[in-house]
Amino acid sequence: MRTSTTSRRRPDPAPADAAVLEARGLRHRIGAVEVLRGVDLTVRTGELVGLVGPNGSGKTTALRALHGEIVPTAGTVHLEGGNLAALSGRERARRIAVMAQDGAAALPLPVADAVLLGRLPHRGALGTTTREDARHAARALELVGAAHLARRDLTTLSGGERQRVLLARALAQQPRLLLLDEPTNHLDISAQHHILQLVRAQRLSTLVVLHDLNLAARYCDRVVVLDRGRVRADGPPAAVLDERTVAEVYAVAADRRVAADGTAQLLFRPGP
């Protein structure tokens, strides 16, 4: 006889163009410094949103507030229409996967075991690994092209290989929302493009913190520019990443050019 799984039933998928994540009026203070100053941010179904801004603009703090790692001083975060604060940590982990900067880089684990960690929120009271867990983990490794690394030790991988494995772990969670904090950090140019191509191919609702504006312009459906804790601009990359905004937010001069594939890219030079 089959055991009922009604209590673990996930919410129905959000309709196309619905807000999977919606933050309103986020404020957060660290000591005397107000790091976030009324941030509004939305991620819709299947949308890849880039969160950009100079160092200290509040990007990582915003990301931490958006998955409940920190409680903002003010404002609300809604996930699939419900208040994030009302969800247990386990339920948040079932719906949101977070890929932090260099996460788990030092863990001496076989790659297959590292990816299985993504199944922890779905395990029952006994915490045992099921065939379903193993199937989801194997499938995630295949999706990112890293199945051949399954028996390797995580600490022996290159930066690009490790990021693929950490993305696989996030995908193994079967999340509704994917949050990535600088996934291209410390990667060479080829690996930077590869990891963002993989992210985009999943068509998951995704918010990614990026430093490289040209990567954001190429891969993101929409870009949110933070400046000193406030949203300076929010819209399609071609509309948001213009010379004036870049000059005012980053204090550098930028010339916009169109690449051979039609993507607008920026050439930077020192500002005044």
What is the model's pLDDT at position 13? 55
Handedness of CA 87, 59, 98, 240 (dihedral sign): positive
Given this model, what pLDDT does residue 210 score? 97
Establish if 35 belongs to a structural domain.
yes
Q: Specify if 157 maps to a domain.
A: no
SS3 for 224?
strand
Structural domain contains residue 56: yes
Q: Does the residue 96 lie in any domain?
A: yes
- Domain assignment of residue 2, yes or no: no
Is 141 within a domain? no
Q: What's the chain's length in residues?
A: 272
CA–CA distance, 268 with 132 (Å, rounded to integer): 49
pTM, full prediction: 0.90
pLDDT score for 108: 86
Chain centroid, CA 180 distance in Å: 2
Asked, for residue 220, whether it belongs to a domain, the answer is: yes
Tokens 């309103």 correspond to 24
Strands 48-52 and 205-209: parallel
Residues of the chain with pLDDT under 50: 1-10
In a domain, 181, yes or no: yes
Q: Please give the pLDDT value at position 123.
A: 82
Taking each helix axis from N to C end, the angle separating 159-172 and 189-202, rounded to the nearest 10 degrees, works out to: 10
Q: For residue 147, give both structure tokens.
A: 């199945």
Q: Are 136 and 172 in contact (CB under 8 A)?
A: yes
Q: Distance of alpha carbon 20 from its chain centroid, rounded?
A: 13
DSSP states of 170-219: HHHT--SEEEEE-TTTT--HHHHHHHHHHHHHHT-EEEEE-S-HHHHHHH
- Domains: count for the chain: 1
Domain with residue 95: its CATH number is 3.40.50.300
Tokens 């006994």 correspond to what residue?
126
Domain of 91, in residue numbers? 18-106+174-270
